[in-house]
Structure 1
């Protein structure tokens, strides 16, 4: 793949939007760098209460130092708060604290951007000067054009909208019949058949029919089968526990993972609320693998909305809340959508 070069602030913001998949709001975004090569991208909500600057900075630094090759970072503050000449920028205390904490780790801040609702400018620039550029200029940047050419797009927010589903009772009965069949089988036979069904779906280029969707959802109701099916998604032949926690030596097949998410969303529309929690949890897991912690949290919360006692969703959400990062995202060669970019 041809290496691309980010040369302008508009390129930086386009890269952030496409990497995250949405335009951040009230957020701090940091990009790690090793010399001129881009590493990981982190988005985190800006602190809402004064006096939390140092703890917040330490949390951000903890995430950033997961990239052990990082020597510097770029950052962008996205906020609707306005700036005025002669006054400090919003969240200046947070940036100052982050600068100090990162310096202790041998990481410098290379540059920063202040992104408002309609314009953006260098974070250390004077408010109201002519160096401010319209946010709309990102739409004509070279990097934005390249991402769009590759099929990427930026959503307005990261808020999840699930596809609609209906005829819950009929779908629940269909899933229930498959569950009865699975329960009547020997555990090894049930697992083998469930994996074969799932593998055929992942190898196909077409969405499965309703009956196969009902069978998939039924298999996901059994924890031992569910865990194995989730581990089968990345297409990696390594121990299951290594795959589930994204700690494999082999890079995952991201196109296969993306297709699995689409199939699971398709299956979700063929099920009922009483059987939806495992499906939504599996999708949450995929988003965690991809480094989309906020979306993973939303899917896991949706799973818990359908079944408040669903243990895997609760434990997975706690894991994300503790700040545990999927191992694949600590290596730019295995991270989701790792594209070859350089900075001048």
Structure 2
């Protein structure tokens, strides 16, 4: 994939939207930079109350500090609050605290944007200078045009809407298959599941109902589930390192995206009892791709289906600590739009 270059505020906002997959609202978005290459993109809700700016800034800086290659950062404040003459910019105390917290980690802020409902302007502009630009300019951004051409899209919000599920339609068939798998006391069940999964991923057509039922059943077993998840990126390495995105090889991202489609398709055929493993796997995929906000939502949905589902709980804790997928820390292995260049 050719390197794309970010030159304008419209390019920055286009990159953010396509990287997150949605347009942020009342959010702080930060992008780490290593020289002229983009590293991690982080979106967090803006604080709703005054007084916690230092703690908030330290948390954000801690997330960004996980990108050990970062030397500088860009930020964008997305808010409906408007600056007024004689007053500080919205969330000025937050940005001041963040500047200091990042400096402690030897990361400087290169630039910032204030993104309103209709316009975008440099964050450090004085009110009344008239340098605000209409958000409609994003439509003509070279980055936006290229990413749309590559099949990317930006949703209006980040809230996930799951496809309709048949709920209990396959319950009995899946339970029967689970009983059959449970009677295997050697590795044959794992190997059979891997063969099925590999065939589904290689076929590039949606699986039959019988294959979907078998897939749902396989994901109910922790050992099989972990192995099938590790098989998705098609990279070499120990299973634990693959699941934590810590291998040197580049994942086959087209295969990863197809796996997500298959898992969501399987979700539409699963009962509530059987859906948590599928949603957790989709959460992992989004985390691998650097979409932490969506990963968190999928894990929450998994826990709604099964409040005691251990992998979803543990994985959500990892996200809350700011752990970033290692593949996205390297422009040669990162998912899709990451690793773009910037123009001074």
Long gaps (5+) in structure 1: none
- Secondary structure, aligned partner of 1:38: strand
- Structure 1 counterpart of 2:14: 14
Tell me if the contact between 2:6 and 2:340 (Cα under 8 Å) persists in the aligned partners: no
- Structure 1 counterpart of 2:256: 257
Alpha carbon RMSD of aligned pairs, Å?
1.4
Tell me if the contact between 2:19 and 2:291 (Cα under 8 Å) persists in the aligned partners: no
Shift in Å, 1:329: 2.4
> Aligned residues, how many?
343
- Structure 1 counterpart of 2:77: 77
Question: Structure 1 residues 322, 4: CA separation in 2 closer, same or farther (over 3 Å shift)?
Answer: closer
Match runs of 1:55-204 below 5 Å? 55-166=55-166, 168-204=167-203
- Structure 2 counterpart of 1:24: 24
- Structure 2 counterpart of 1:269: 268
Question: Structure 1 residues 169, 72: CA separation in 2 closer, same or farther (over 3 Å shift)?
Answer: closer
| TM-score of the aligned structures, taking structure 2 as reference length | 0.96
| TM-score of the aligned structures, taking structure 1 as reference length | 0.96
Taking the aligned partners of 1:339 and 1:326, their CA distance within structure 2 comes to 14
Query: CA offsets per residue over residues 155-175 of structure 1, 9 Å max, x none?
Result: 111101011022x33310111
Shift in Å, 1:199: 0.7
Taking the aligned partners of 1:37 and 1:326, their CA distance within structure 2 comes to 17
- Secondary structure, aligned partner of 1:187: coil
Moved over 4 A (4+): none
Taking the aligned partners of 2:77 and 2:340, their CA distance within structure 1 comes to 24
Query: CA offsets per residue over residues 239-273 of structure 1, 9 Å max, x none?
Result: 01111111112122211111110000011111111
Long gaps (5+) in structure 2: none
Taking the aligned partners of 2:317 and 2:197, their CA distance within structure 1 comes to 28
Taking the aligned partners of 2:155 and 2:263, their CA distance within structure 1 comes to 21
Taking the aligned partners of 2:35 and 2:311, their CA distance within structure 1 comes to 40
Shift in Å, 1:339: 4.4
Taking the aligned partners of 1:334 and 1:197, their CA distance within structure 2 comes to 27
Shift in Å, 1:2: 2.6
